[in-house]
Structure 1
Amino acid sequence: PPFDKYWYESVENGRRKQMATDKKAGKVNPTYKPHAQTNGSVLPAMVKAYGGPFWFAGLLQLAISGLQFASPYLMQELMGNIAMDGPFWIGMLITFALFFNSLLIALFNGQYFRKTFIVGFRIRTGLISAIYRKALRISSFAKKDTTVGEIVNLMAVDAQRFFELTSYLHVLWSAPIIIAVCIFLLYEILGVAVFAGLAVMVIMIPLTGFIASKLRDLQVAQMKIKDDRVKRMNEILSGMKVLKLYAWEPSFQQDVVETRGTEIGILKSMAYYGAATFFVWSMAPFLVTLA
């Protein structure tokens, strides 16, 4: 697979850099470290393997943003043509332009999500394949610190996170551009009054930033608890005969239930913070209009 090819290249580059560093440090016989002791980078491998469709999706996102800003201008021209009793053919031309603009937005949106979903699926498949291949070749010494449950969690949960991320990565660069253009267009229409609404949005940024930091901390804690729970369940299932022999089921069950209870508590807190974020941004349009 393409990901494996570039991943191994990244590992080899890491080994060569490590050997060059050892030589500069004055080591007489720099050692060629094994794969487990060499840091490879997943991100460059993913970019080289799946970057083409992903960057094409970025161009689609740029086109979608431009077309979305074209709609208000076309609507303004149409209303001006109607108010000034302009030529009928110009009004029809603007109407068809609005129709094709909406059609292009729908088509580009569909292609954008299609491309990002395909890239996400390929990234997830490549990561799962790499994790599975590594699990088959893991050393006996490393198995002491790694359980089957943790490996399954990496493939089922962590790889899925990469798939979910691909559709929203282009928002990181497109959102600032869209915000800047929106502020400029509103300033052209409303004048300095736009800064009152902008001030409300700026005031909300620290609040949402605080909520986002709490959500991030809770998500990290939830992932740790989940890894611990999966590890405990794997130990219970692998040692079921011993548990039955010594009648240890209630104590181990209580242990798992307590761990799950802690995880549920974290999930509830995440739901509360998510609801707070939704409430704040639902109130934002009203507060901006009021300002």
Structure 2
Amino acid sequence: MSSPSIHRLSLGQIEAQIATMGAECISLKKNGLEFLWQANPKVWGRHAPVLFPIVGKLKDNQYSHNGKTYTMGQHGFARDRDFELIEKTEQELTMVLKADELSKKVYPFDFELSIKYRLTDNGMHVTYNVRNPSENENLLFSIGAHPGFTCPLEAEKESFSDYLIDFGQKEINKLPLYTLDDGLISAQRKTLALVAGKIALDYKLFEKDALILDVAPITHVSVISQKTGKGFAMEFSDFKWLGIWTKEKGAKFVCLEPWNGIAATTDHDGSLENKLGIEKLLPQGLHTAEFKVELMG
């Protein structure tokens, strides 16, 4: 495989850059304005990592399968592996990662993960395809997205707190949230209070880590500046959970994270098959999930 590289896409006013390392989108612009977080290593050194074959953290960073224990860090290994470019036009591309000797040291499954980026007139569609090439074994996995969006988009004119999160349903005044205990899902739940389906961005919301909610009935969210009207939106009906996160007070980004998978629970027995959020893909099966990003401004 060739060394990691960066590929550029363009369609009208939309431009993107995709790195083969992690198949990660590292730039997404509209009319020259950068919407994607530029990976300041002093704050958070990633842009939009792909989470596979787990989402979130494992208890003690370990899991068991078929009587053997494996160690794997938070969010899995795909984000740190070089993907192969298999198809590219001016407006879209597809990259793939397959199981190999390195992956099987921590994840004993055959898999084929392909990621397709396609530009639209106002943003981007991202499609995840997970294929199980095995003829006799189920593929146990999770997959999720972790894009960080620049917020505020125009720091000289606005601040983080000038933005509203709009969940798109005015009749909803509260949403149930999962809570994290040292990165694991606890039995406790809390509630996010909304006003007509909206809430102002505030760093205090993230003092206990990410906001994590069930996708149903929420399948769309937008983050819009009350001062400039600029912002970004995401549709994620193919996913089961949504995480919303920023790193720390003063960090100039917010992540919208659609997941088919979630961190292990505090009482997880360690078995990968029993872990919350694990997808079970039959031999020769295919799992497809897409999310859509719209850029406003």
Give the TM-score taking structure 2 as reference length: 0.20
More strand by share: 2
Please identify which structure carries the higher helix content: 1
**TM-score, normalised to structure 1's length?**
0.21
Q: Select the structure of larger CA radius of gyration.
A: 1
> Which of the pair has the greater relative contact order for Cα pairs under 8 Å at 6+ separation?
2
